Structure 1
Amino acid sequence: MFLDFVKLLTLQTSLLSSLIEYEPTITNVNIIMIGMNSIIPGYESLNWFSNQNNNQYATNDDEKCINFKISQALQWNTVLFQNFGLDNLVIYYNQQHYTKQEIIDIVQTQEQNFKVKKLKLRLYFGEPKQNVSIKKLFEQYLYLSKQDIPFSGSFEAFNFDYADQLFQNFLKWRISNQTQSYYKIPHPKIKEYKNEFLERGPPPLFNDYLIYLYSDYDIKSLQYHEFFKNFQQQHLLNITSVVIGYTDLTSSIFWGIWRYSLPFVRFYSAKLPGYFSYNYEPLDAGKYLDYLNKNSKNYQANQRLVNYQLQDKSQLEKTWHKRHCENRDKIPKLLMEWFLYEIQDYDKIIDLYLQEEKYQKLTGFGLAVIDKYDNQTFGQPFFYGMNKANNSSPMRVLMMAQPQGPASRKQTLYLMSKGFMVMGISSYRSFPVFNKFENDTDWTMQCLDRTYFELMKNFAGFFHNVRNPNQELKNIVIPRINFAHSDMMLDYTKAHMKDHEDLNLTAKNKYDIAFSMLGNKTWHENTKNWTFGQEVYDKLVQAGKYKILLIGRDLPERWVGKVDHVPQLNQSEFFKTLAVTNILFIPSVSDASPRILTQALCLETAVIVNKYIVGGWKYINEQTGSFIDQSDEIFGLIDDIRDRREKGILQPRKWFSEFAKYSHQRFQIMIELMWFKYGYDFDINGLEKIYDKYII
């Protein structure tokens, strides 16, 4: 194959170009000068004759030699030439006779002649590897050159006059009818894409592409020409949004930017602009159709249209006037659906849906960590969207819960290439809001950089917990809703309290206040605001009249004997402890989704929460607890909560049960709206092709 020929050479960087330029109207033509220690060895006794219009060669296998028709016998100043495709001319010269500077000066005089024809000259130098003779190079060329129109031969010398004649003949040969016929596009609807273009970016947006990479000097590539020509004619003739393309990598192999065997097939998806995957299907039309059906949204849409056209239209014809002539200004739901494509904040839209009984009766969606998928390990912060009706079948909905480093981003792009719809959800510190303190002290938050915000533009939506999205999320211009994982703790808490149903949740008689601080590291101190937590607890200890509990973190020596301590508990034991505690103290600021807060509310435990917390602010009211700003406020807040509990005003469980009644349905409606909006499929519940939505 062609790569084997190039491996016989050592090539240097182009001297007339510093970059792999790409201009749509310009073609790069490569002149590859191969310096030989001698042109003669192996051919001293041969008499070569040639004319430039009829270059023919004969190979005598018995004698293991090659006979050329060349105009002069080989001399020390003779140069030999041979083409590789339309855009590559290899010239062999005696480097004992010609200097590189002489060659550069000669080739530079030809630049204008090529430029007039919208061609750009690129000059390369190289030499054969050790023990590689001119004879071996020509034998390899004859093996590769199966066409009947090679541009090959010799010139007596490489000087200004002969070089001018050589290049003029080469230009004429490139545009001759015979040459153009051989190198013509295999099918009018198959598009050519220069590799210089693909190296700079993807093909035009909105289409899906199958682009096969080949070389005219690779025998196997000829099969791909014929296969894709037939595939285009038989299966894609009327589908303009799925494009077959081809790219000749002969030049790229000379440049050194492609070092692999050929052919290959790349798939570029319209849903993942800028990225591609390799397809390794054999040349089987059925397998390629299956591949497109699983990976090409444009092909799937065309198939749905075909199926729709085959349906009975009689019922549709009876009601067409109702569907097309309704006044949306008088029908709130139609108006709402029209506005869905114009707005960012979906909170009130979801509220309108939930006024209808059928949406209230949805099974709802939940979250589950993606441990493994397709033999890859993920784990947090990768979450599946999970249908509560069938927890064994997670959906192709990825919920991203924190900023990502380079390796994690690659995993997200991989899942996107597999058809996952990606949405963000606030679950880690202030994510997705930038916070300088967090950026200075937390590597994960440092990943919230400009390139990650660019990646987030491909997210279908975002579940956030900020107070003012128009200000705090102004750089995230995708659909969003105020919603967090902490909104879905009602069923979760009930499930873990099944073994403690005999507990009296109103008897808060064991602890006046508890503080959960898991871990002793600086990161835990920063996220849980250990500094402020200690300040408050020091005042409570000094007062000496409260039953105080610290969960998890090692007890400071000054609190020993004054504050009760339990190590980190399993979930059920933790809930059992919360159930007998009057108040849970949460001094955190960097917490976008404080699940411990809503778990406490489910257990009738009130909360005192830092006034500046990122995400738990929306749960705090007179029925649930209080905000704290200064440590001196703690005594009045404890007394106020006791007073509200005695008067029946404080009812945390009742309030949160009402608040979270349709939280899973709310989650489901938002996901489904985005699924439809971005055309992932007709039905996320699998009424069409279930493998598009669920991991099976």
Structure 2
Amino acid sequence: MDLAAGAPFLRVTGPGGEPLPWVVVRAPVVTRAQHVRLHDLADEGCRFVGATSHLGFPGAGFRDERDYGLLCEGWLHCFRDPDRFLPPNGPRVLVSESDFTDPLRVDPRRIHRRPVAHALPAELVADVVHVSGAEPWRQEAKNWPLAARCLRRLAAETGLRVLVVDAPPGAGSLPGVRSSGPLEWPSLLAVIAAARCLFVPAVLDASPRVLAEALCLDVPVVVNRSILGGWQYVNAFTGAFFDGVDDVVPAVLGTIGAAGGPRSWFTAHHGPARAGARVLRLLRSLDPSLPALSHVLLAPDPGPPKRSAPGTR
């Protein structure tokens, strides 16, 4: 599922892509075009549920002036303590967008079958991979200040090969840490599949798709214990938590040395059908008229239909 980053609306569909009269609001509605689209969807008869996919949305400081408790009849959320962030009304279900990551699409066997001509260059092969971002908001969401301190210690004390993908400015000055620019999605998956663990120091991340993708690639994860979303993926089969610079080295070394089984665990608990069945149960509690389905899917909102220019058809 390739959902448009930052777009506030997702359409709910049946398993075959047939549209249903429900829309997911996954981020603040801030631009004029977004406000117009919201009114258009309401005029079409759509109903709305919210999803916690944007930082701490809809908590204080992460939304616009709109009352999302009135707009959204229920919530798909990622929080340990949903009462801290969510409006008090409506049903809730612990489901993240990243739960819809498809293990059939993100499959290490597909990565390893790539032609030799497309093999990774040596500078992109690493033991520990961290995916960051050059833009300031991505640095905040990915917690680059903590990441830099932790990666410096890992490189100095373990001898592991450490790589930052989509590195912020200055990342290249970290001793023993390699960096790259942003990668196309297939190349990013190949880099993660070749690693021994994915390092995720983020706190303000509500739906860390890269975390779910690493598990589908059978790569364990080391995750900040304070992360908003994705904490539910971390267990003895998938990786470990860390709290800060002082315990990151044992967390990474313990994760790399463990037998694990990240892909098997993710496949048994998540994926489109399982996540979609949980969402369907929530929607059916609000709308008993929904057709008989096994599960639902989420798709990017296509926006209003394009109007033909005068004189054309």
Pair in the same fold by TM > 0.5:
yes
8 Å Cα contact 1:457/1:476 also seen in 2: no
1:665 deviates by 2.1
8 Å Cα contact 2:99/2:212 also seen in 1: yes
8 Å Cα contact 2:22/2:47 also seen in 1: yes
Are 2:111 and 1:500 equivalent residues in the alignment?
yes
Correspondence list, 1:313-392, <5 A: 380-389=7-16, 391=17
Aligned to 1:191: none
8 Å Cα contact 1:511/1:547 also seen in 2: yes
Aligned to 1:413: 39
8 Å Cα contact 1:466/1:614 also seen in 2: yes
* Structure 1 Cα separation of the partners of residues 227 and 129 of structure 2: 18
* Structure 2 Cα separation of the partners of residues 459 and 416 of structure 1: 12
Q: Give a deviation string over 1:597-618, Cα, whole Å, max 9, x none.
A: 1110011111111111111111
* Structure 2 Cα separation of the partners of residues 544 and 533 of structure 1: 16
Are 2:161 and 1:542 equivalent residues in the alignment?
no
Aligned to 1:463: 76
8 Å Cα contact 2:93/2:279 also seen in 1: no
8 Å Cα contact 1:584/1:607 also seen in 2: yes
* Structure 2 Cα separation of the partners of residues 544 and 474 of structure 1: 41
Aligned to 1:527: 141
Correspondence list, 1:464-483, <5 A: 464-469=77-82, 471-473=83-85, 475-483=87-95
8 Å Cα contact 2:171/2:179 also seen in 1: no
Aligned to 1:83: none
Aligned to 1:487: 99
Q: Give a deviation string over 1:492-535, Cα, whole Å, max 9, x none.
A: 643x76742538xxxxx9422110012x2321221111110011
Are 2:49 and 1:423 equivalent residues in the alignment?
yes
Are 2:280 and 1:668 equivalent residues in the alignment?
yes
Q: SS at 1:431's partner residue?
A: coil
* Structure 1 unaligned residues grouped into runs of 5+: 1-365, 371-378, 440-444, 504-508, 677-681, 687-694
Q: SS at 1:605's partner residue?
A: coil
Q: Give a deviation string over 1:552-578, Cα, whole Å, max 9, x none.
A: 124534237x32333211111111111
Q: Give a deviation string over 1:136-171, Cα, whole Å, max 9, x none.
A: xxxxxxxxxxxxxxxxxxxxxxxxxxxxxxxxxxxx
8 Å Cα contact 1:672/1:684 also seen in 2: no
Deviating above 6 A after TM superposition, structure 1's stretches of 4 or more consecutive aligned residues are none
1:432 deviates by 1.9
1:651 deviates by 1.0
In structure 2, relative to structure 1, the CA distance for the partners of 1:558 and 1:368 (3 Å cut) is: closer
Aligned to 1:589: 203
In structure 2, relative to structure 1, the CA distance for the partners of 1:406 and 1:684 (3 Å cut) is: farther
8 Å Cα contact 2:75/2:90 also seen in 1: yes
In structure 2, relative to structure 1, the CA distance for the partners of 1:539 and 1:498 (3 Å cut) is: closer
Structure 1 counterpart of 2:12, which letter?
Answer: G
8 Å Cα contact 1:367/1:386 also seen in 2: no
Q: SS at 1:641's partner residue?
A: helix
Tell me how large the CA RMSD over aligned residues is: 2.8
In structure 2, relative to structure 1, the CA distance for the partners of 1:492 and 1:590 (3 Å cut) is: farther
* Structure 2 Cα separation of the partners of residues 406 and 617 of structure 1: 31
1:476 deviates by 3.0
Aligned to 2:59: 433
8 Å Cα contact 1:551/1:565 also seen in 2: yes
Q: SS at 1:601's partner residue?
A: helix
* Structure 2 unaligned residues grouped into runs of 5+: 115-123, 294-303, 306-313
Structure 2 counterpart of 1:400, which letter?
Answer: V
1:656 deviates by 0.8
Are 2:181 and 1:567 equivalent residues in the alignment?
yes
TM-score relative to the length of structure 1: 0.38
Correspondence list, 1:193-208, <5 A: none
Aligned to 1:94: none
1:410 deviates by 4.2
TM-score relative to the length of structure 2: 0.81
Are 2:23 and 1:398 equivalent residues in the alignment?
yes
* Structure 2 Cα separation of the partners of residues 388 and 491 of structure 1: 16
- Greater RCO (CA < 8 Å, at least 6 residues apart): 2
8 Å Cα contact 1:581/1:605 also seen in 2: yes
Structure 2 counterpart of 1:666, which letter?
Answer: R
8 Å Cα contact 1:369/1:384 also seen in 2: no
1:673 deviates by 3.1
In structure 2, relative to structure 1, the CA distance for the partners of 1:626 and 1:525 (3 Å cut) is: same
Larger-Rg structure: 1
8 Å Cα contact 1:555/1:565 also seen in 2: no
* Structure 1 Cα separation of the partners of residues 71 and 172 of structure 2: 51
8 Å Cα contact 1:675/1:684 also seen in 2: no
Q: Give a deviation string over 1:421-456, Cα, whole Å, max 9, x none.
A: 11111110011222xxxx3xxxxx251x4xx22x43
* Structure 2 Cα separation of the partners of residues 415 and 634 of structure 1: 46
Aligned to 1:314: none
Identity, % of aligned positions = 22
8 Å Cα contact 1:367/1:385 also seen in 2: no
* Structure 2 Cα separation of the partners of residues 474 and 430 of structure 1: 10
* Structure 1 Cα separation of the partners of residues 264 and 108 of structure 2: 17
Q: Give a deviation string over 1:97-136, Cα, whole Å, max 9, x none.
A: xxxxxxxxxxxxxxxxxxxxxxxxxxxxxxxxxxxxxxxx
Q: SS at 1:666's partner residue?
A: helix
Q: What is the aligned length?
A: 282
8 Å Cα contact 2:108/2:193 also seen in 1: no
- 1:601 maps to which of 210, 215, 220: 215
In structure 2, relative to structure 1, the CA distance for the partners of 1:544 and 1:627 (3 Å cut) is: closer
* Structure 2 Cα separation of the partners of residues 558 and 642 of structure 1: 26
* Structure 1 Cα separation of the partners of residues 95 and 85 of structure 2: 14
In structure 2, relative to structure 1, the CA distance for the partners of 1:368 and 1:528 (3 Å cut) is: closer
1:630 deviates by 1.7
Structure 2 counterpart of 1:415, which letter?
Answer: L
8 Å Cα contact 2:48/2:72 also seen in 1: yes
Aligned to 1:578: 192
Aligned to 1:517: 132
* Structure 2 Cα separation of the partners of residues 431 and 499 of structure 1: 35
* Structure 2 Cα separation of the partners of residues 531 and 491 of structure 1: 32
